[in-house]
Structure 1
Amino acid sequence: MGDAVTAGFAAVPDALVALAGRLRAVAGEVWALRERVAAVDVAASRPLAPATFEVLRARLRDAVETLDRAERTGVDLADRLTESARAYAEVDTTAATRLQELVPAGPAPPPPPAASVRVAEPPFVLPEAFHGPVTIRPMGRGSGIARITSVVSGAAGAAGAAAPPDGSPTPDGEEIVARAKRWADLRLGYSMTGLHDGYRTDCSGLVSMAWGLPPPGLTTVTLPEVSHPIGKDDLRPGDILLDTAPGAAGHTLIFAGWADAAHTRYHAYEESASKGAHHDTIPYPYWSGHGTFRPYRLGT
């Protein structure tokens, strides 16, 4: 039974490595095409009119630059997939070992009998009021524990504002941006497994550090557990733009202010595979072709 439970654990990293290999092969084909375009004998077109000849040469230069970008993008994505595969392999090995320990050697025990309720037992009644700490445990990998103080009256309750798990006050926008800037000033390289001050040096690790969440940090999948979506017009420094896709497909970055009055571009801090921790000016909500991004704010 243990083998059946753990048989599929190697599938994800193997599939990512295979996809990375195919991407590198495609990148190689793109590079070969780029070399062919660059090697076109423009001199053969000299019988053309000078204006036509210049247009042709300019278009060939544009094609070479486009192919350059495509090749670099393919290789960069392949590197990110390979790194994700290594991270998944490490997690899956640990999980598979743990499952093997938990799977019983013999046949599965029979299910426990259904609990019976005495007819004369009175039903549970919510107390009129409760004062005291309530511990909320978010679900999901990498989740921390957020403690809030609440007052419940009858069936309806009013909860206080969420605070970081260590009891410190929630950082304001200026402090969040200042923390992100420190990583950008250090030019910390991108890694889904490497740590700096206890936090992963990937995009969600940067946000977790700046937001004051527990190390090693949440992921693009679990960050919504400690935040809530907001509107574009409500964005302020310290909020994030988030694509919640899992693994290397997801991404997030810290909003640091609008770059223009029309709110079409904004300043941001992010960790990326190609640039590491850095500051950039980005079109809202993010560069095209990189997924669906929504604004979120710390606090539930």
Structure 2
Amino acid sequence: MKSTQVPCQLCDYGVDDGVHALFKCSSARAFWLASPLGVHSDALPDDPRQLLQAVVGALHGSDFSSFANHVWALWKHRCAVLYGGKVFKVESGLSMARGFSFLSFLTGNFKITSTVRDALGHVSLEPTDAGLKCWIDGSYDNSGDGGWAFLIQQNQTLVMFGTGFGSVSSPFQAELQALHLAMRAMARGMLQDCVIYSDCQVLCRLLNGENIFDAVPWQCFFQVQDVIQEFKASCYTCGFINREANMEAHFLANYARRNRIVSQGTSYSDLPVL
């Protein structure tokens, strides 16, 4: 790999070539050390060919697939920082990598192992991972096709998931469908005291009692009132997360919309594949 002789724009130390950007930069080292693979990238060779040989020799099977997804996520996040005005955050990069790993699993590229299952888990948004947590998301395109999905975990173990698709008037209505699908599934399974996480600010604010119905698309005005009443009658609470921390539900909702998938299950082996 030919050196560009340009200083790294993130750490101002070292030449900003591929090896430095993806492994030797201080941000990259923190990313790899915090990843489920726990790679000490500062101990890897500086020569690109020797570095790849060391990685290939240390990884195998699904671990190598996970490694490839982490490389791509780190590069995407680095580009977003340098050219999109984002702030480099290790967890943002890792969340993106979890999304890529989850998408790879959905398309049947590798089997779930304990390492990959750990990679799919979420960093706790609370002091402990105890309790039920549900991630929801909706997907929408300009033709009016929608998809929605939810995943419920407890202690980073999948408890239940579900997907659906249909015609919707807006991204908000797709998100609303995801919430409704999740609550129906939890009611059937008699699951209570669950925190539901969404990356839709309007929906989260409504569920937390704010009177902002003027922000709701008129096509689903009455539907959202019914869903909120059902939510208030339950034992659930709602929390807002950003898209980067909701990648599993995001990818699953997109998958349901594009492939017109209705599915449900209680383990990773139940998840739909192409």
Greater per-residue helix proportion: 2
Larger relative contact order (Cα-Cα within 8 Å, sequence gap ≥ 6): 2
Q: Report which of the two structures shows the higher radius of gyration computed on alpha carbons.
A: 1
Normalising by structure 1, report the TM-score: 0.26
Normalising by structure 2, report the TM-score: 0.28
